[in-house]
Chains A and B, each alone.
Chain A
């Protein structure tokens, strides 16, 4: 599934980072690389962008960009 589909509070592992050019580079530079764990913290009041917790900090990105990041949901037992 893709990052924009996760619900608030859900955790996941990044499996692939799509997009191209400056966007993709920026995502990678900010630490969204394959095998990294992340958590969806919240959604902006107007429903977009989203806030994620990754590598110990808070990052915000738009849903259309989050849709380019493939993740695997971590199922908590």
Chain B
């Protein structure tokens, strides 16, 4: 049985870098059961097959956030044989707070003291032996980014587990707190043994008032009252409440350990540099223009320079492979229907969705640089006030902005949000940001109906999207997401140069994620759409798309859109094909109107729409459920198919209502 280590640490302490150094390319991403928290696992290099599991970055194991609960359940679940706790040496006091809680678990453990190069570079020093004595576990100084000390860390970690070396002490309390913890520990001994939970950890949690732990240990009413009484006495004696008393106990112990061992300047050079950088980047006046400038630059590079070049290359590659397959199928004399399914259905469908890939990978290249450098936290700081009104925090701003480019990476980027509630709300609202694939639809309609006010209409559409997002946000905040949001109390980490390895790794993971999606959900969807397009009722193959099942569906759906002013079956059909990719709306309309080329579409559109109906159609296109690639991303990030289907139905409902209002109110006003 291979040894398993849990890798735990605060956010921004270099945990991902260490994980990448430990495992190299030997890693894969999964999920913790039942929740959308990433579980990264890998085999440690030169360790004889030991496995390391990267747990979420957390500051404490109090049972409040999803990440903390996942970590706690995983550690108590009995899977890991040992803990590697990574600690940021430049920020040692706050990092050790988590360490002290981990020590209470009485598992073999080792502390990796990271960023020691920065401490030394700023003229500081940390006495490793004294820290190790103070904590009662081995401490190894490392620099994950420079790959220093990793070999020793692995060796010591293996040794610790092999000899089952438990922490030498875990008694950080004195006086009243000590008395409370120990009297409770004594009482619950049978329970902790029966449930295989470390007694010290359990006792501390009970004193802290953790009801989850009480339930877990099956503490009876009588014992609950005793716990309450003991804690009350402690509070009375200390003149403070239990939570503050225990936080104070841990920090006091840390201060005592550090006082003898840590000699460092008030701030490291990196921290001083960050303060200077922030004088500009979070400046009262310049902060917002700089942020907008950076985002514009990222968009220009992604969708303009890099993205389009890569997309073209990629497109050529896909058509090359498609042609090869086409020729192969022809030479093998495959039945025409099957041939068409493979080429026109699967290759065309999956190919068009895979066409997004260069954009997504490029966007994630920039996003991981912004995240790893520490800038993303500043964006949250600068933009928090704007998003708070709709019940979100500044952290959601970046995914929403990305939504103007493409909903898929935007939804995938919501993974970095630390609160489940914020994540869900962001995923629901992001598709209202008008993505770039909708632009071809707008431009055809604007050319046909509003040639004079083109820019104004486009602007109005973007603003409508944002306004709807705000209204829906307010609605959600006051209904299903009424509960307390995770507080916005966030570290602003020192700016650091992102490591190439981390950035590449991140891009690779996201690309893989997307390809897997393309070949599962999207693959299914393309086959279904192809069937609908090429077969009529009774599954007879059809020549004219007007006879296809898709057209039948369009006719069936058309009355739904009649109150919105576009009850034509061709409009409904175009909206359905738009689910593959939004720009398809235009090409479908061109086919159904028999104009062959989308460029010739504008003049004939007025046969189908009045200008008012066209406006309603545009608004509906702007807001209705996103394309299949985005749906797949929503399903993945929400972790449930039901949630994703609900989200789609909700967005389409909102689109219908808003388009209805546009058409009916417009008609009343005489447009």
Query: Is B646 at the interface (CB under 8 A from chain A)?
Result: no
Of B60, B267, B380, which one neighbours A29 at CB under 8 angstroms?
Answer: B60
A57→B491 CA distance, assembly (Å) = 8
Of B90, B244, B386, which one neighbours A28 at CB under 8 angstroms?
Answer: B244
Binds A, one of B229-237, B279-287, B326-334, B580-588: B279-287
Query: Is A51 at the interface (CB under 8 A from chain B)?
Result: yes
A17→B388 CA distance, assembly (Å) = 23
CB contacts (< 8 Å) of A47 on chain B: these are: 385
A14 to chain B, nearest CB (A): 10
Residue-by-residue, is A1-45 near B (CB-CB < 8 Å gives 1, otherwise 0)? 000000000000000010001111111111101111000011111
The residue on A at minimum CB distance from B250 is: A33
A57→B268 CA distance, assembly (Å) = 10
Query: Is B668 at the interface (CB under 8 A from chain A)?
Result: no
Tell me the number of A-to-B contacts counted with CB atoms below 8 Å: 125
Of B90, B92, B267, B382, which one neighbours A44 at CB under 8 angstroms?
Answer: B382
> Once the chains bind, are B274 and A58 in contact (CB under 8 Å)?
yes
Query: Is B486 at the interface (CB under 8 A from chain A)?
Result: yes
Given A45-B285, A49-B381, A55–B93 Cβ distance below 8 Å? yes
CB contacts (< 8 Å) of A62 on chain B: these are: 384, 388, 487-488
A25→B240 CA distance, assembly (Å) = 14
> Once the chains bind, are B247 and A29 in contact (CB under 8 Å)?
yes
CB contacts (< 8 Å) of B489 on chain A: these are: 23, 26-27, 30, 59-61, 65
A64→B490 CA distance, assembly (Å) = 15
Query: Is B528 at the interface (CB under 8 A from chain A)?
Result: no
B386 to chain A, nearest CB (A): 7
Query: Is B221 at the interface (CB under 8 A from chain A)?
Result: no
A72→B491 CA distance, assembly (Å) = 23
Of B94, B382, B388, B484, which one neighbours A57 at CB under 8 angstroms?
Answer: B94
> Once the chains bind, are B384 and A31 in contact (CB under 8 Å)?
no
A17→B288 CA distance, assembly (Å) = 32
> Once the chains bind, are B287 and A34 in contact (CB under 8 Å)?
no
> Once the chains bind, are A44 and B59 in contact (CB under 8 Å)?
no
Interface of A is mostly: mixed
> Once the chains bind, are B64 and A51 in contact (CB under 8 Å)?
no
B164 to chain A, nearest CB (A): 30
> Once the chains bind, are B64 and A26 in contact (CB under 8 Å)?
yes
CB contacts (< 8 Å) of A31 on chain B: these are: 93-94, 97, 251
CB contacts (< 8 Å) of B283 on chain A: these are: 45
A33→B251 CA distance, assembly (Å) = 8
A69 to chain B, nearest CB (A): 11
Query: Is A75 at the interface (CB under 8 A from chain B)?
Result: no
A45→B243 CA distance, assembly (Å) = 34
A45→B379 CA distance, assembly (Å) = 11
Given A26-B64, A44-B382, A49-B384, A56–B93 Cβ distance below 8 Å? yes
> Once the chains bind, are B275 and A30 in contact (CB under 8 Å)?
no
A27→B380 CA distance, assembly (Å) = 18
CB contacts (< 8 Å) of B284 on chain A: these are: 43, 45
> Once the chains bind, are A55 and B94 in contact (CB under 8 Å)?
yes
Count of chain A residues with a beta carbon within 8 Å of a chain B beta carbon: 35
Given A23-B489, A30-B489, A34-B248, A56–B275 Cβ distance below 8 Å? no
Query: Is B266 at the interface (CB under 8 A from chain A)?
Result: yes
> Once the chains bind, are B386 and A30 in contact (CB under 8 Å)?
no
CB contacts (< 8 Å) of A56 on chain B: these are: 90-94, 266-267, 271
Residue-by-residue, is B624-664 near A (CB-CB < 8 Å gives 1, otherwise 0)? 00000000000000000000000000000000000000000
B131 to chain A, nearest CB (A): 15
Of A24, A30, A44, A46, which one neighbours B491 at CB under 8 angstroms?
Answer: A30
Of A23, A29, A48, A65, which one neighbours B385 at CB under 8 angstroms?
Answer: A48
Query: Is B492 at the interface (CB under 8 A from chain A)?
Result: yes
A35 to chain B, nearest CB (A): 8
> Once the chains bind, are A22 and B248 in contact (CB under 8 Å)?
no
**8 A Cβ contacts from B247-293 to A:** 247-248, 251, 266-267, 271, 274-275, 278, 282-285, 287-288
Given A48-B385, A59-B489, A30–B94 Cβ distance below 8 Å? yes
Of A23, A25, A44, A61, which one neighbours B282 at CB under 8 angstroms?
Answer: A44
Given A17-B244, A42-B282, A48-B384, A59–B93 Cβ distance below 8 Å? no
A70 to chain B, nearest CB (A): 12
The residue on A at minimum CB distance from B377 is: A60
Of A33, A45, A46, A49, which one neighbours B248 at CB under 8 angstroms?
Answer: A33
B63 to chain A, nearest CB (A): 10
A53 to chain B, nearest CB (A): 8
CB contacts (< 8 Å) of B488 on chain A: these are: 49, 60-62, 65
A29→B486 CA distance, assembly (Å) = 14
A47→B386 CA distance, assembly (Å) = 11
A44→B464 CA distance, assembly (Å) = 28
CB contacts (< 8 Å) of A28 on chain B: these are: 243-244, 247
Query: Is B308 at the interface (CB under 8 A from chain A)?
Result: no
The residue on A at minimum CB distance from B283 is: A45
CB contacts (< 8 Å) of A43 on chain B: these are: 284
CB contacts (< 8 Å) of B486 on chain A: these are: 22, 26
Query: Is B478 at the interface (CB under 8 A from chain A)?
Result: no
A36→B247 CA distance, assembly (Å) = 12
Given A44-B385, A45-B283, A59-B489, A25–B94 Cβ distance below 8 Å? no
Query: Is B606 at the interface (CB under 8 A from chain A)?
Result: no
Residue-by-residue, is B317-328 near A (CB-CB < 8 Å gives 1, otherwise 0)? 000000000000
A21 to chain B, nearest CB (A): 7
Other 9 A-B pairs with CB < 8 A, given A42-B282, A44-B382, A59-B490: A25-B60, A25-B62, A29-B60, A31-B93, A46-B385, A55-B94, A56-B90, A56-B271, A59-B492
Closest 4 CB pairs of A and B: A28-B247, A29-B60, A58-B492, A46-B385
A-B contact pairs, 22 of them (CB 8 A): A21-B64, A22-B64, A22-B65, A22-B486, A23-B487, A27-B487, A29-B60, A34-B240, A36-B251, A45-B382, A46-B382, A46-B386, A49-B384, A49-B488, A56-B267, A57-B493, A58-B494, A59-B489, A59-B490, A60-B490, A60-B491, A65-B489
Q: Give the interface of B toward A (CB within 8 A).
A: 59-60, 62, 64-65, 90-94, 97, 240, 243-244, 247-248, 251, 266-267, 271, 274-275, 278, 282-285, 287-288, 377, 380-382, 384-386, 388, 484, 486-494
